[in-house]
Chains A and B, each alone.
Chain A
Amino acid sequence: MKNKQIKIALKNCGKIDPERIKDYIAVDGYKALGSCLSEKMPGDVIDIIKSSGLRGRGGGGFPTGKKWEIASKFDADQKYVICNADEGDPGAFMDRSILEGDPHSVIEAMTICGYATGATEGYVYIRAEYPLAIKRLLIAIGQAKEVGLLGKNILNSGFDFEIGLKYGAGAFVCGEETALIASMEGKRGNPVNKPPYPVECGYKGKPSNVNNVETFANIPKIINKGASWFSSIGTEGSKGTKVFALAGKVKNVGLVEVPMGTTLRELIFDIGGGIVNGKKFKAAQTGGPSGGCLTEKHLDTRIDYESLKACGSMMGSGGMIVMDEDDCMVAIAEFYLGFTVEESCGKCVPCREGNYVLHEILKKITHGEGTLEDLDKLKNISEVVKATSLCGLGQTSPNPVLSTLSNFYDEYYDHVVNKKCAAKKCRSLLTYSIIEENCIGCLQCKRVCPADAISGELKEKHVIDPEACIKCGACVSKCKFNAIVVE
């Protein structure tokens, strides 16, 4: 069933040697750039991208051609093309794969973008955590320069374009355009109010067109095959394909590229092969820390920008973490908020304080101290943080809380009222006890207990003191007689 995939952005990954420009040229590489420079006016290029219907693949989904058009209209002595390769969503790695497997496609696309928008300088803002991608990009830039596909007077067209690298230093918020630009300028990655948007006032105060790696990787193919070919793939509002990073409790993990409009079921069960160890599917988290959890009832939703939003999640960069019955959704929400609290830049109050409070309440709940009132608080604070935060980080960070609250309210209820965690993830809510008829009194569990919470002599029934038990689980893994039960 893997033939449901259509590869556009990932077309060359794994098929060509990314360190040889000849390999890329042999598969029509730089043909699109050649045709743009020799046969098309910048406006024609923008029209093609506009009518292809391509939208930003980094998460926002803004129409790419429209962005290019706006950037092209500003008059400035210098404009910039910026490739956002700060792939910070945990669980997403398509940008890394494209940069490692097909770096020339991004270089070609950035050059085309420079020609279309009137920029002569480009930068790739890339995570320092991706050393191989950096190495291959540098090799590719060097090779493109050597053969005259980058630099002065490209292909004798009179068009100049240079590409440099800027390194990230581990800050999730730098995926946000204005924070990314601050970071490029050697500052803390604090976002600023929009407008003005970077297309008007960006890097060094000049118009800067920022696109994501996957977005760029689509460009040469659209120019070569035509806008109508691209727009024939996908759904009404979302054209082309999307790369998803399948991870978590699914059999086939890795990158898949499918037409927009593919259902979650096809993705997880046909392509992904279903859930590992014969467990039951519980949720798929899309869009990283800004996204939400989709459940069984969403399995047949056709995935595109709008439908995911309608389900309370978002496309995001395409990370898809599959979870099974052993995952606790309250703990997942706590995990994401922990991430947000760490990554919030601290500039605006709702994000800095609101997310902190949300995280504290979630911690309280997973530690068995939550109340029903806390659930209302979670919802209210989430809505305020969403509505009043400065940038995309805070505007979306409560999504994991809201979507788990609405899709898994029973689980929250179980935690605060019955003080139970059905997935057995929340340690404070578990009790360990010994089943008398199974226990032979072998002392194994008693010896391994770090808290001396188990009493009983050799060949006597053992007993766990619930007050002293730290719920580490060491005894369970030692007991050979299934005599310890966790509830």
Chain B
Amino acid sequence: MSCGEHNFREKLTEICREFNNDPNELISILHKAQGEFGFLPQKVQETIANIIKIPSSRIYGVVTFYSYFTMEPKGKYPISICTGTACYVKGAEKVLEAFEEKLNIKNGQTTSDGKFSMSSLRCVGACGLAPVVMVGDKIYGSVNADQVEKILSEYD
């Protein structure tokens, strides 16, 4: 986290206030906090717990339950590979393997230079374009393993 300890608490206080410090709004608070910091490390969870006055164990429980939340920083260019059924039958697994091989990381990991991170997700609702890969917000449709290198080269 680049911002100082003080700023960081201030930012979270602001986010929680937006949702009236209401524990019912925890998921919205976490969405906003992750949008701000990129991930939700222990420190962030404890600070939120402190502000909205609930045990930090409850926050940890929620963060680890939902796949959208992450405690690890993502790469500069997060790669999401859809492994929904439509993408699966159209060969998403081969695409996933190609990314693993080219980046030399496993699914779920971040490259050592922090440039790319890989994750698989279940269905982005674009089954007509299967298999689908997202890099950041950019969507690539009908991807095959041979195109992986070219996709990565766009981010050099």
A-side residues, CB < 8 A to B, are: 87-93, 96, 128-130, 166-172, 183-189, 204, 245, 247-249, 253-254, 285, 288, 319, 321, 323, 327, 332, 335-336, 339, 343, 345
B85 A167 Cβ-Cβ under 8 A: no
Q: A170-B66, A187-B62, A248-B89 are in contact. Are A87 and B121 (CB under 8 A)?
A: no
CB distance from A187 to the nearest CB of B (A): 7
CB distance from A188 to the nearest CB of B (A): 4
B130 A247 Cβ-Cβ under 8 A: yes
The B77-135 residues at the A interface (CB cut-off 8 A) are 83-86, 88-90, 121-128, 130
B-side residues, CB < 8 A to A, are: 22-28, 30-31, 58, 61-62, 65-69, 83-86, 88-90, 121-128, 130
Give the docked Cα–Cα distance between A130 and B123 (Å).
11
| A-chain residues with CB within 8 Å of residue B83 when the two chains form the complex | 90
B127 A87 Cβ-Cβ under 8 A: no
Give the docked Cα–Cα distance between A187 and B89 (Å).
34
B123 A89 Cβ-Cβ under 8 A: yes
Give the docked Cα–Cα distance between A185 and B19 (Å).
13
| B-chain residues with CB within 8 Å of residue A172 when the two chains form the complex | 122
B126 A90 Cβ-Cβ under 8 A: no
A90 B128 Cβ-Cβ under 8 A: no
CB distance from B138 to the nearest CB of A (A): 13
B85 A91 Cβ-Cβ under 8 A: yes
Give the docked Cα–Cα distance between A91 and B86 (Å).
6
Give the docked Cα–Cα distance between A185 and B62 (Å).
11
Give the docked Cα–Cα distance between A183 and B68 (Å).
13
Of the candidates B62, B88, B123, the one whose C-beta lies within 8 Å of that of A335 is B88
CB distance from A476 to the nearest CB of B (A): 13
Q: A172-B122, A253-B127 are in contact. Are A185 and B68 (CB under 8 A)?
A: no
Q: A169-B68, A248-B89 are in contact. Are A188 and B62 (CB under 8 A)?
A: yes
Closest A residue to B64 by CB, please name it.
A188
Interface centre among A247, A249, A254, A323 (most CB of B within 10 A): A247
A186 B24 Cβ-Cβ under 8 A: yes
B126 A93 Cβ-Cβ under 8 A: yes
A245 B127 Cβ-Cβ under 8 A: yes
Known A167-B28, A168-B66, A170-B121; further 20 A-B contacts with Cβ < 8 A: A88-B122, A90-B83, A90-B123, A129-B124, A167-B31, A168-B68, A169-B31, A185-B24, A186-B25, A247-B86, A248-B85, A248-B86, A248-B89, A248-B130, A253-B130, A288-B85, A321-B86, A336-B85, A339-B122, A345-B65
| B-chain residues with CB within 8 Å of residue A254 when the two chains form the complex | 128
B89 A171 Cβ-Cβ under 8 A: no
| A-chain residues with CB within 8 Å of residue B26 when the two chains form the complex | 186-187
Closest B residue to A93 by CB, please name it.
B125
| B-chain residues with CB within 8 Å of residue A130 when the two chains form the complex | 125
The 10 closest A-B pairs by CB, nearest first: A90-B84, A186-B26, A93-B125, A169-B66, A247-B86, A247-B127, A170-B67, A170-B68, A90-B123, A169-B68
25 CB < 8 A contacts A-B: A89-B123, A90-B83, A90-B84, A91-B123, A92-B125, A93-B127, A166-B28, A170-B67, A171-B65, A171-B66, A172-B122, A183-B27, A185-B24, A186-B23, A187-B26, A204-B24, A247-B85, A247-B128, A248-B86, A249-B89, A253-B127, A254-B128, A321-B85, A321-B86, A323-B89
Q: Is the interface of B mostly helix, strand, loop or mixed?
A: helix
Give the docked Cα–Cα distance between A171 and B23 (Å).
19
| A-chain residues with CB within 8 Å of residue B22 when the two chains form the complex | 186
CB distance from B54 to the nearest CB of A (A): 9
CB distance from A153 to the nearest CB of B (A): 25
| A-chain residues with CB within 8 Å of residue B61 when the two chains form the complex | 188
| B-chain residues with CB within 8 Å of residue A189 when the two chains form the complex | 65-66
| A-chain residues with CB within 8 Å of residue B122 when the two chains form the complex | 88, 90, 172, 339, 343
Q: A167-B27, A288-B85 are in contact. Are A91 and B68 (CB under 8 A)?
A: no
CB distance from B106 to the nearest CB of A (A): 16
CB distance from B4 to the nearest CB of A (A): 28
| A-chain residues with CB within 8 Å of residue B86 when the two chains form the complex | 90-91, 247-248, 253, 321
Of the candidates B62, B84, B121, B123, the one whose C-beta lies within 8 Å of that of A186 is B62
Give the docked Cα–Cα distance between A247 and B75 (Å).
31
Give the docked Cα–Cα distance between A362 and B136 (Å).
34
Of the candidates B23, B67, B69, B127, the one whose C-beta lies within 8 Å of that of A91 is B127
B67 A169 Cβ-Cβ under 8 A: yes
Q: A90-B85, A247-B86, A335-B85 are in contact. Are A129 and B24 (CB under 8 A)?
A: no
A169 B30 Cβ-Cβ under 8 A: yes
| B-chain residues with CB within 8 Å of residue A336 when the two chains form the complex | 85
Q: A91-B127, A93-B125, A129-B125 are in contact. Are A186 and B68 (CB under 8 A)?
A: no
| B-chain residues with CB within 8 Å of residue A343 when the two chains form the complex | 122
A188 B128 Cβ-Cβ under 8 A: no
B85 A319 Cβ-Cβ under 8 A: yes
CB distance from A172 to the nearest CB of B (A): 7
Give the docked Cα–Cα distance between A169 and B62 (Å).
10
A129 B121 Cβ-Cβ under 8 A: yes
Closest B residue to A323 by CB, please name it.
B89
| A-chain residues with CB within 8 Å of residue B25 when the two chains form the complex | 186
Interface centre among B67, B69, B90, B123 (most CB of A within 10 A): B123
Closest A residue to B59 by CB, please name it.
A186
Closest A residue to B93 by CB, please name it.
A335
A128 B31 Cβ-Cβ under 8 A: yes
Give the docked Cα–Cα distance between A110 and B23 (Å).
26
Give the docked Cα–Cα distance between A390 and B122 (Å).
23
| B-chain residues with CB within 8 Å of residue A186 when the two chains form the complex | 22-28, 62
CB distance from A394 to the nearest CB of B (A): 17
